Amino acid sequence: LWKNCLDHIEQKILPENFNTWFTPLYPCAKNENTLTLVVPNRFFERCLRENYLELIQETLEYFANKKLEVCFQVNGISSGIETPFNGNGNGNGNGHPPVSAPSEARMETPASSPHVEVGESSRTESFLNPKYTFDRFVIGPNNQFAHAACQAVAQKPAYTYNPLFLYGAVGLGKTHLLHAIGNQISNQNPNLRVRYISAERFTVDLIESIKRDKMAAFRERYRPLDVLLVDDIQFIAGKERTQEEFFYTFNSLYEYHKQIVVSSDRYPKDMKNIEERLRSRFESGLIADIMPPDLETKMAILYKKADFHEKEISQDVAMFLANNIKSNIRELEGILLRVIAYSSFTRRDIDLELAKEVLKDFTVDKNKNFSIANIQKTVAQYFSIRVSDLKSKKRSRDISIPRQIAMYICREYTQASLPEIGRQFGGKDHTTVIFSHRKISSLVKENNEMTGSIQQILNILES
Ligand code: ADP
Ligand code: MG
């Protein structure tokens, strides 16, 4: 359906507009009345809504023969549960932080457990995103090793490194590499059954199957695979039943000499709340890490992405952007899209001046939301308490935990000094801020319910 729409829209608008606004889009979910499209960022979404929403709606209506509502999901932000669509969308192809997902416990309540279609049709679905290929991946010293390991696996699945464990921080290309492996294997050998799945989706799938008494079908979906690519495996930490089932899946594939690749934002040894036997399985293969990119790699990525959008950016623009975005490549990509969009709107060339304006907006947006006052307000609202409680000396858990979380976010996401943060929390000592920050940091590493809360608060702050 979406493919048809795209073909149609391509005929209707200028190629350069099509490239800017439609090539980055892809569908991630569809149900009876709505189609969800993934957009790179909110700015992009706003522009798209303003300029093309009608066209999209009309075209969809034409091809679907009925009215469909269009939803947008920002790349990496939404925590919604996606269902497959047309075989080219995928559950969690853009690696949103797994911590933003509802916890297992919460998923079991009917209200928040969306029905995931896991019937016949998905049996052959690979959930691979065709956009993530090796030739679109820029190699630098930071990811050379991981890239080589992935290529080896893609060329000879189950012959070299099995399992392959990809480790790297958020936004550094883990999801991209998993899909690239899958895409290459599928292209070279269409008979092999390849499947990409996020650990989150695996969990939801499992819970649904248990609830509907369809465990046999669940196992049947994984057992015949030749290649299983599991993204963000750290998500299953603390979830016993999921781990047990994953262990079973892992073993049955492994015994039959099938390839398994998993990604994670931490090393196996740093994964808490994970069964020892699983950890040792992960450690039994090859562990390849991806480090943050250096300046040259960031610039090379910018050139490549710009080229993909049929734009050219000069060295000073690339240098400027690369210097100002620390390490997250998703963010780097986001800022580049903003630059491209801004230049197409204002009909100005992409030069340093324009890049500076866009970046200023970007940082102002960020800083505005991440002021201490706004963090306090958002945290207080999230926990249904008052800002004055956060600033008070109350020590009950329902106040002290939100207070520590708020301090933690202030420390991590603003430039404010420790004494300044303390002052804004009703005149507390800077050691209190240090203590809170340490405490929450260590809890965050455990990936429990609190991590989910913090992630949701950050999502609110970022929106
Ligand atoms: P992760 O899963 O590690 O959080 P992703 O794989 O989702 O990160 O990468 C974030 C974005 O950055 C994606 O759009 C991806 O295509 C892009 N990206 C990451 N690394 C590279 C790279 N080396 N070359 C080109 N694009 C990259
Ligand atoms: Mg990812």
Structure tokens of 174?
């883990």
Q: Tell me the mean pLDDT in the region 446-453.
A: 71
pLDDT, the chain, mean:
84
> What's the CA-to-centroid distance between 428 and ligand 1, angstroms?
41
87 known member of a binding site: no
pLDDT at 64: 85
Amino acid 463: pLDDT: 66
Above 90 in pLDDT, residue 389? Answer: yes
175 is in an annotated binding site: yes
Q: In this structure, what token pair is assigned to residue 48?
A: 């798209």
pLDDT digits (tens, 9 = 90+) for 167-212: 998 889 999 999 999 999 999 999 999 999 999 889 989 999 999 9
Backbone angles phi, psi at 305, to 5 degrees: -70, -40
Q: What is the 3-state secondary structure of 168-189? A: ECCCCCHHHHHHHHHHHHHHHC
Question: How many angstroms separate the CA atoms of 387 and 376, rounded?
Answer: 6
Tell me the chain's radius of gyration from C-alpha atoms. 23
Closest ligand 1 atom to residue 178 Cα is: 6
Note the pLDDT of residue 120: 35
Q: Are strands 26-30 and 34-39 parallel, antiparallel or unpaired?
A: antiparallel
433/246 Cα distance (integer angstroms): 39
353 forms bridges with which residues in the sheet? none
* Residue 422 annotated in ligand binding: no
pLDDT score for 341? 87
Assign 3-state DSSP to the chain and report helix, strand, coil percentages, each to 5.
Answer: 60, 10, 35
Distance 138 CA to ligand 1 centre (A): 9
Give nearest CA residue, ligand 1 atom 21: 173
Q: Which residue shows structure tokens 């780097």?
A: 332
pTM metric for this prediction: 0.64
Give the model's pLDDT for residue 339.
Answer: 93
329-338: pLDDT as tens digits: 988 998 998 8
* Residue 415, pLDDT above cutoff 90: no
Average pLDDT score over residue span 72-97: 43
At 366 the pLDDT is 65
The pLDDT tens digits of the residues spanning 75-85 come to 654 333 333 33
The per-residue pLDDT for range 215-253, each reduced to its tens digit, is: 999 999 998 999 999 999 998 988 999 999 999 999 999
Q: By alpha-carbon position, which residue is closest to atom 11 of ligand 1?
A: 330
What residues contact 460, with CB distance under 8 A and at least 6 apart?
Answer: 378, 382
Q: Is 171 known as a binding-site position?
A: yes
pLDDT at 116: 38
In the structure, what pLDDT confidence band is assigned to residue 101 with cuts at 50, 70 and 90? very low
Tell the residue number behind the tokens 């990604």, with chain if given. 263
Ligand 1, atom 16, residue with closest C-alpha: 176
pLDDT digits (tens, 9 = 90+) for 26-50: 887 788 888 888 887 776 787 788 7
**What pLDDT, on the 0 to 100 scale, is given for residue 454?**
83
Q: What's the 230 CA to ligand 1 centre distance in angstroms?
A: 16
Question: Which of 75, 145, 151, 172 for a ligand 1 pocket mutation test, highest count of atoms within 8 Å of Cβ?
Answer: 172
Task: Bin 257: left if φ > 0, else alpha if -120 < ψ < 50, else beta.
Answer: left
Helix axes 397-413, 449-462, angle to 10 degrees: 50
CA of 80 to the centre of ligand 2 (A): 15
Ligand 1, atom 5: closest residue by C-alpha:
173
Instruction: Report whether pLDDT(113) > 50.
Output: no
Token representation of residue 178? 């998993």
Pick the atom of ligand 1 nearest to 94's CA: 7
CA of 119 to the centre of ligand 2 (A): 26
Atom of ligand 1 nearest to the CA of 168: 3
ipTM exceeds 0.90: yes
Which ligand 1 atom minimizes the distance to the CA of 179? Answer: 6
Q: What's the rounded mean pLDDT across residues 44-68?
A: 85
Residues with CB under 5 A from ligand 2 (ion): 95, 174-175
Single-letter amino acid, residue 54: E
Residues 369, 373, 374, 379: is their CA dihedral positive or negative?
Answer: positive
- Through-space distance between the first and last CA atoms of the chain, rounded to whole angstroms: 30
pLDDT surpassing 80 at residue 123? no
